[in-house]
Structure formats: C-alpha cells, structure tokens
Amino acid sequence: MPISYKILPKKRVSNSDDKKAMAAIILLTTGIILILGLFYLWFFVATANLNSFWSLVRGNRDNEASVTATVSAIPATPTISEAPEAVNKKSFDAKGFASPGQKAFLYINEVESVQTAVDADGVFTFSNVPMTSNNIAIYVKVKDMSSKESAPSKSRTIIFDDKSPKMEVKNPGDGEEFTNPAPFFTVIGSVDEDATILVNDRQAILDSDKNFRLVINVNEGDNFLKIKAMDKAGNETLIERKLVYKKP
C-alpha cells in the first residue's frame, strides 16, 4: 500500500508578536541590570559602614588600652604604716610600704622634706624627721625609675607636746589606813587629758570625763602604789601612795 505525505503550510508570526517579545526581553534585561546595580550599591555602602564600624571599635579599644597602660604606668600609692600622733621631742620616725626599688619622698605641710629608698621588702623608713612646727601634717609620694610620680598617701597629723598630764589621786590618801573584811580597795582619780592610767602596771579605765577607778587586791599591812598617767606623746606623771590594810 503506498504511503502518502501531506505538507502543512508554515504558520507566520506577526510583526506585532516579535515586538512584544523583544520588549519583554529588554524589560527583563533592564530589570536584572537594575537589580544588580542596586545590590552592588547596597553591598558597597554596607561594606563601607561595616569597615567604619570596626575601625571605630578598634579605635575605642586602642584608646582604652592606651588609657589603661597610662594609668598602670603610674606607681601605686604608698602607705604610711607607722607614725606617732604626738611627740615630746623635736623629731620622730615614720615607716610605710611601697613597691620595691622606688624612692619615697616625705612632705611636711605640703613641702618636700626628706627622701629615702624603698627596700627589697617594700618598706621605707624616715628617721629623725624634724618637727618644723608644733602641729604638722605629713604624707608620702613615690617615684619609679622613670621618675613617674604616685598619688600622695593618706595624710597624718602629728602634734608636739612636752607637757606631762596633770593627775589627781582622790583615793587613797598617802598613808591611809582602811579596815574591811575583804582585801579589796578602789583607787580613784582624774587627769586633764586623754592618757593611759596604770596602777602598779594594771591599767585603769578612763571615762569620758577623764575620771578613772580601779579595784585592786591588797595585802595585810603596808601596800605601796605607783599610779602613773602617760599621754600620747609619751609624757608621764607618777604619784606614789602608801596604803595600810588592817583586817577587822
């Protein structure tokens, strides 16, 4: 059986369809280019801002590190550990602590007076410091090997006082006799300033009115009492009394 072929005619595309397709392609291409341009612009701005941000962070960190290094480079503030509140001489000794290898400078009434080295144990000692007036204030600064100076230590006030405290012993009177079943006696007296009161080396309590009293144990017969008042400057007043105890 013979085979037959049928040739169909080609379908024509109109010019109008071609133009629409071309316009779509152009529009799509333009859109892609625009999107790529916007993405590039966003990426460029974001990268610049990010770099600026990290530069700012690094700058702040560098500044903080610089400030920390500057602060840590300043020598530590020294401490005065030993200094009298009052003295009865025209000189005194003072001690304190600082970093080893530094130099310590003592200031009296804001004026640099003497200097000394801080030893390997971190201790500095000022000996025979002059009392330039009857009431002085002292503090210490230190300097390291590069001459960097510390902040001043806490200030101490020192008073010159060479007068002994005035003391009155009201009980007992010298040579006083007393009779009591119990061998106890109360020593009573007063002073004109803050002082340490000792009765035969036992400390009595001083109240806010500068009165003192102390109960002591006595022996039958003669008892000899040494009553001593010592102020902060080391001035002393001594009163001796004889007390006679008789059992009933």
- H/E run at residue 203: strand 202-206
What does each C-alpha distance from 69 to 72, 74, 149 come to in angstroms? 5, 9, 15
pLDDT at 93: 97
- Spacing of C-alpha 87 from chain mean position: 27
Contact 115, 108 (CB under 8 A): no
pLDDT at 81: 97
d(CA 223, CA 175) in angstroms, rounded, equals 9
| Predicted model pTM | 0.63
pLDDT at 25: 77
pLDDT at 9: 53
Q: Is the dihedral of CA 133, 134, 135, 141 positive or negative?
A: positive
pLDDT at 243: 97
Strand pairing report for 202-206 and 211-217: antiparallel
**10-residue stretch averages of pLDDT, the chain, 248 residues long:** 52 59 75 73 55 56 51 86 96 97 97 96 97 96 95 97 97 95 96 97 96 97 97 97 94
Q: Which pLDDT tens digit goes with each residue over 155-181?
A: 999 999 999 999 999 999 999 999 999
